[in-house]
């Protein structure tokens, strides 16, 4: 008997086995290692829409075809790349970046992602940081839940990105989402990926992307504002969101006024 929500795993074959949880989540929001046709893989079960999952799996398959190491969606026996909120992907070996040189390789990988996805359509229901200069909501962002002064500060940070070329950003390039080996760098956990300005991915440790002082400041401020907005929950104090918001400063009085809706 499959746990509630995991019945769809049968669509990947009669011999598929759920092995162990890979995150703290459980039940319908869990990420588990599984075995499909005898090979180790990863199953992720959640509540995203079919349109959202189609966008993500299409993106990962595109990146794989272009030679970028990513978790590759495994089709069901019927040829679908997701079913009832469940996606099964190849397991990616490796460890997190540890040195400045490692982070330089991560920066190169992120720039490869950005080059390969110029002109990519926006993830269904999402907004970019510059969209939020005028829009109030987009997927996990609801600016109406932030204090008004915080919205002004975030918009001042995002206004510095206006007019730049967009592409797919990973959205969460923290060490836990990076799997490195001697010969490749792979990004996992594409839940936060969407179309935005590439700067959001490039405020890396050691300034690994090699940005000049102004460019790094723009990227760091925009990234802090984005993470504060995404993680903000008015019903509870999220220390991470509070910390990131504290890093966001007004650009200047006139600039802040110009970002008001």
Strand 185-187 to 178-180 pairing: antiparallel
The C-alpha atoms of residue 168 and residue 137 are separated, in whole angstroms, by 19
| pLDDT value of position 1 | 62
- pLDDT class of 24 with cuts at 50, 70, 90: very low
Residue 129 near residue 219, CB atoms below 8 Å? no
The pLDDT of residue 237: 76
pLDDT score for 27: 44
Q: Burial code of 56-90, b = ≥16 C-beta within 10 A, e = fewer? A: bbebbeebeeeebbbbbbbebeeebbbbebbbbbb
How distant, in Å, are the alpha carbons of 4, 76, 81, 120, 212 from that of 167? 37, 29, 23, 6, 21
Q: What pLDDT is attached to residue 159?
A: 97
Q: Where are the domains of the chain?
A: 6-90, 100-258
Question: What's the confidence (pLDDT) of residue 253?
Answer: 55
Longest pairwise C-alpha distance within the chain: 63
| Domain 6-90, second-level architecture | 2-Layer Sandwich (3.30)
Q: What tens digit of pLDDT does each residue of 233-248 get?
A: 888 778 999 999 999 9
pLDDT at residue 260 above 90? Answer: no
What's the sign of the alpha-carbon dihedral 151, 153, 159, 164? Answer: negative
Q: What is the pLDDT of residue 259?
A: 47
Identify the CATH number of the domain defined by range 100-258: 3.90.1200.10
pTM of the model: 0.91
Tell me the per-residue pLDDT of 112-169, one tens digit each, with 9 for 90 and over. Answer: 999 999 999 999 999 999 999 999 998 889 999 999 999 999 999 999 999 999 999 9
User: How much is the pLDDT for 26?
Assistant: 43
- Rounded average pLDDT over 203-208: 98
User: Taking 70 as the threshold, does the pLDDT of residue 40 lie above it?
Assistant: yes
Residue 252 has pLDDT above 90, yes or no: no
pLDDT at 2 over 80: no
pLDDT for 122 equals 97
Q: Which residues pair with 89 in a beta bridge?
A: 42, 73
Using alpha carbons, list the distances in angstroms from residue 78 to 4, 75, 83, 195, 205.
Answer: 22, 7, 10, 30, 43
- Whether 164 contacts 199, CB under 8 Å: yes
How are beta strands 17-21 and 178-180 bridged, if at all?
Answer: unpaired
Query: Is residue 198 helix, strand or coil?
Result: helix
Pick from 132, 119, 219: nearest CA to 165: 119
Asked which of 2-11, 177-186, 250-259 is least confident by mean pLDDT, the reply is: 250-259
**How does pLDDT run across 105-125, given as a tens digit for each residue?**
999 999 999 999 999 999 999
pLDDT attached to residue 17: 92
Select from 72, 4, 76 the least CA-distant residue to 42: 72
Helix, strand, coil shares of the chain as percentages rounded to 5? 40, 15, 45
Q: What average pLDDT does this structure show over 41-61?
A: 96
């Amino acid at each position: 008997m499959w746990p509630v929500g995991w019945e769809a795993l049968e669509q990947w074959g009669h011999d598929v086995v759920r092995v162990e949880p890979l995150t703290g989540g459980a039940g319908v929001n869990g990420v588990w290692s599984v075995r499909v046709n005898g090979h180790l893989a990863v199953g992720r079960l959640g509540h995203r829409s079919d349109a959202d999952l189609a966008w993500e799996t299409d993106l990962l398959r595109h990146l794989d075809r272009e030679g970028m190491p990513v978790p590759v969606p495994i089709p069901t026996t019927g040829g679908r790349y997701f079913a009832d909120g469940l996606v099964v992907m190849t397991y990616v070996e490796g460890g997190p970046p540890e040195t400045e040189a490692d982070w330089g390789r991560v920066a190169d990988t992120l720039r490869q992602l950005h080059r390969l996805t110029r002109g990519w359509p926006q993830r269904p229901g999402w907004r970019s940081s510059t969209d939020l200069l005028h829009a109030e909501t987009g997927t996990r962002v609801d600016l109406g839940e932030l204090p008004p002064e915080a919205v002004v500060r975030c918009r001042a940070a995002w206004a510095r990105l206006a007019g730049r070329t967009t592409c797919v950003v990973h959205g969460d390039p923290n060490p836990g989402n990076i799997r490195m080996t001697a010969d490749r760098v792979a990004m996992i956990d594409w839940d936060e990926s969407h179309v935005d300005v590439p700067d959001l991915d490039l405020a890396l440790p050691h300034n690994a992307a090699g940005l000049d002082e102004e460019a790094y400041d723009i990227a760091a401020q925009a990234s802090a504002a984005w993470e504060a907005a995404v993680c903000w929950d008015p019903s509870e104090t999220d220390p991470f969101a509070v910390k990131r918001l504290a890093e966001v400063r007004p650009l200047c009085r006139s600039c802040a006024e110009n970002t008001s809706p």
